[in-house]
Amino acid sequence: MPKQMTRPNNQRRYLFTLVHSMNKAEKRNFKLYSKKMEENTGLKLRLLFDAIAKTKNYDEKKIKEKLPDISPAQLSNLKRHLYQQILTSLRLLSIQKNVEIQIREQIDFARILYGKGLFYQSLKILENVRTLARENHLDLLLLEILEFLKLIEERHITRSRQEEGKMERLENDALRRSEIIHNSCQLSNLKISIHGFYIRYGHIRNDLNKTMVKEVFREKLNKIDQSKLTFFERVYLYQSWVWYYHILLDFEKCFVYAKKWIDVFEEAPKLIEEDPDLYLRGYHYVLTSLYHQRDQIAFKKFLKKFAKFYHENYEGFNYNSRMIASLYFYSAVINQYIMNRQFRAGVAMVPKITDFLNKFSDLLDQHRVLIFYFKIAYLYFGSKDYEKCLDYLDKILDLKVAHLREDLQAYARILLLLAHYELGHFILLNSLIKSTHRFLSKLKELTEVQQETLRLFRTLVQLPQNEHQPVLEAFKEKMKILKEDEFEKRSFIYLDVYQWVEGKLSGKR
């Protein structure tokens, strides 16, 4: 089980997680950077850095043992100093790759020059990075540059005054950029609000849910004027539509907007390099939408493209991007195995997936871990390894995340019943049925599929096994009808009990 994420009240772990997030090039760069410091200070920082880098699990006592000549008070100060110096070295290294950091550095240089009264030199730098910021759609930085330019022009008589219309263009550009930022802020607030709704509640459950979602979000989405949107405004808008239709279980339209999302990036390849995380996220929703539609052909096509991008660019990604890329890649791979019912092949991938969960445990949120545990449990269930299935379902129950994805936690408890039934634990099923019912009742809205499944097991545990077939056949017919229901089909997204009972009746399980 992955270690928990570092919390704000556990700051002494921050340095440890920062050091262990660094790749070989970043570590080598820090060593070179530290050698430029005062000899004694640089040596102490390198000793502490090496002690932390060679410690696999955070252990304050072991780190102190490796530095016997440094007192506890000195060590505390040294750790703070090391943290800051690592960030400085990483910033210097990142300037070569990150245009946003490059622009910020140039703005700082412009401020220094202006402070020395060299405002013509300051203007020259600002004009250069103004173009760079516009080309990369960095609207906040562009507005900062424009406001700085206005400040200089306002306070000093420059040669710019001789160029007709330049001041008016500067003012109009700043005003337009303000409008773009305001609109982007509204769109980003909207997409966070929609996504937050999904994380809390999952998919719609009934007409009331559907109406609420439409009233809360659709009116706001339709008010957006799409004719003048900039790059990131378009991406934020498409994100909002993706999550809106995802919640509504309309995966065809969800795919349409996810595809528009990645198309925007592919029209501007330079932006993929600057923000690969957002591009990868778009691909994730393309694949997720196709998975829910069970479109195997299209899924295979887009997964191939995604895998190519993932493998060709992984080494160049930063630590966070590697986590995001691997998260979406392994999620898509699991979905493909489940969709194609290749459960044993999927199980063979589990060691790699658990390695990933452990490696990036400091960045992965509990919501992601919950989904992976459930899908791994489902792979083991599909491959008839019910004991391993139960192991991962127990991990879900141990996570204690009552506020996250209540719907997914409900499916986990239903899968728990199926696994124990397959193992013949009929005595245990009686108490599990009661605890599952208590949990589902707290959700306020039990689905018909959930209720029928509980009724099925209540009936089965009262009958000898040779009388189970007619009960299962009757259940199958009910599931066949419910699969077509607008609100019930969400119950089959993560756990298809219809497939399970069909397998039992056909003798395949």
Mind listing the pLDDT tens digit for each residue in 297-331? 999 999 999 999 999 999 888 888 999 999 999 99
The answer on 136 and 78 residing in a single domain is no
- Helical (H) or strand (E) element with 212: helix 207-213
Q: How far apart are CA 361 and CA 381, in angstroms?
A: 25
Is there a contact between 187 and 237 (Cβ–Cβ < 8 Å)?
A: yes
Average pLDDT over residues 28-53: 88
Give the chain's domain count. 2
Phi, psi of 114, deg, nearest 5:
-65, -40
Q: Please name the amino acid found at residue 88.
A: T
Is there a contact between 262 and 328 (Cβ–Cβ < 8 Å)?
A: no
The answer on 73 and 49 residing in a single domain is yes
The answer on 17 and 56 residing in a single domain is yes
Q: How far apart are CA 86 and CA 15, in angstroms?
A: 9
* Structure-model confidence comparison of residues 216 and 283, the more confident one: 283
pLDDT category of residue 2 using cuts at 50, 70 and 90: very low
Average pLDDT over residues 136-148: 91
Looking at 202-216, 335-349, 387-401, which range is the least confident one? 202-216
Q: Please name the amino acid found at residue 317.
A: F
Residues 6+ apart with CB under 8 A from 114: 122, 152
User: Could you tell me if residue 395 is inside a domain?
Assistant: no
Nearest to 137 by CA among 181, 167, 96: 181
- Return the pLDDT at 145: 94
* 159 has a pLDDT exceeding 70: no
* 509 has a pLDDT exceeding 80: no
The answer on 71 and 108 residing in a single domain is no
The answer on 45 and 112 residing in a single domain is no
Average pLDDT over residues 487-500: 84
Phi, psi of 445, deg, nearest 5:
-115, 90
Positive or negative: CA dihedral 137, 183, 275, 234: negative
* 95 has a pLDDT exceeding 90: no
Could you write out the DSSP letters of every residue in 116-127?
Answer: TT-HHHHHHHHH
Q: H helices within 423-496, ranges in order? A: 426-442, 448-460, 468-482, 491-494
Residues 6+ apart with CB under 8 A from 245: 251, 253, 254, 257
Nearest to 439 by CA among 417, 468, 406: 406
* 44 has a pLDDT exceeding 70: yes
Looking at 203-207, 216-220, 280-284, 401-405, which range is the least confident one? 401-405
- Return the pLDDT at 96: 79
User: Could you tell me if residue 146 is inside a domain?
Assistant: yes
Residue 39's domain comprises 12-94
* 184 has a pLDDT exceeding 90: no
User: Could you tell me if residue 235 is inside a domain?
Assistant: no
* 260 has a pLDDT exceeding 90: yes
* 408 has a pLDDT exceeding 70: yes
Average pLDDT over residues 220-246: 84
Predicted TM-score (pTM) of the model is: 0.78
* Structure-model confidence comparison of residues 98 and 507, the more confident one: 98
Looking at 159-168, 208-217, 218-227, 410-419, which range is the least confident one? 159-168
Structure tokens at 144: 């900062």
Q: Which of 79, 94, 109 is the last residue of a domain?
A: 94
User: Could you tell me if residue 56 is inside a domain?
Assistant: yes
The answer on 90 and 18 residing in a single domain is yes
The CA distances from residue 22 to 30, 63, 78, 320, 350, in Å, are 10, 18, 19, 11, 25
Q: What angle do CA 211, 217, 220 make, to 5 degrees?
A: 130
Average pLDDT over residues 95-120: 90
Average pLDDT over residues 381-397: 94
User: Could you tell me if residue 42 is inside a domain?
Assistant: yes
Q: Which of 121, 144, 163 is the last residue of a domain?
A: 163
Q: Which of 71, 94, 117 is the last residue of a domain?
A: 94
The answer on 31 and 77 residing in a single domain is yes
Could you write out the DSSP letters of every residue in 350-405?
Answer: HHHHHHHHHHTTTT--HHHHHHHHHHHHHHHHHTT-HHHHHHHHHHHHHT--TTS-
pLDDT category of residue 10 using cuts at 50, 70 and 90: low
Q: What angle do CA 305, 309, 314 make, to 5 degrees?
A: 150
Is there a contact between 299 and 339 (Cβ–Cβ < 8 Å)?
A: yes
- Return the pLDDT at 9: 39
Q: How far apart are CA 499 and CA 480, in angstroms?
A: 10
Structure tokens at 407: 């719907």
Average pLDDT over residues 443-456: 84
* Structure-model confidence comparison of residues 464 and 441, the more confident one: 464
Q: How far apart are CA 280 and CA 311, in angstroms?
A: 13
- Return the pLDDT at 401: 60
pLDDT category of residue 3 using cuts at 50, 70 and 90: very low
User: Could you tell me if residue 461 is inside a domain?
Assistant: no
Average pLDDT over residues 234-246: 90
* 8 has a pLDDT exceeding 60: no
* 445 has a pLDDT exceeding 90: no
Q: How far apart are CA 272 and CA 265, in angstroms?
A: 6
Looking at 35-44, 195-204, 274-283, 460-469, which range is the least confident one? 195-204
Structure tokens at 239: 């994100």
The answer on 112 and 52 residing in a single domain is no
The answer on 86 and 24 residing in a single domain is yes
- Return the pLDDT at 158: 60
- Return the pLDDT at 6: 41
The answer on 88 and 124 residing in a single domain is no
Indicate the burial class of 224 (C-beta count within 10 angstroms; 0-12, 13-18, 19 or more). middle
Q: For 314-352, give one letter per residue: b (16+ CB within 10 A) or e.
A: eeebbbebbbbbbbbbbbbbbbbbbbeeebeebbeebee
The answer on 123 and 109 residing in a single domain is yes
User: Could you tell me if residue 141 is inside a domain?
Assistant: yes
pLDDT category of residue 473 using cuts at 50, 70 and 90: very high
- Return the pLDDT at 161: 56
The answer on 25 and 84 residing in a single domain is yes
- Return the pLDDT at 160: 57
Q: How far apart are CA 443 and CA 409, in angstroms?
A: 10
Average of per-residue pLDDT values in the chain: 87
The CA distances from residue 108 to 104, 113, 135, 139, 496, in Å, are 6, 9, 20, 17, 57
Average pLDDT over residues 145-168: 75
User: Could you tell me if residue 279 is inside a domain?
Assistant: no
Average pLDDT over residues 107-120: 91
- Return the pLDDT at 319: 85
- Return the pLDDT at 318: 86
SS3 77: helix
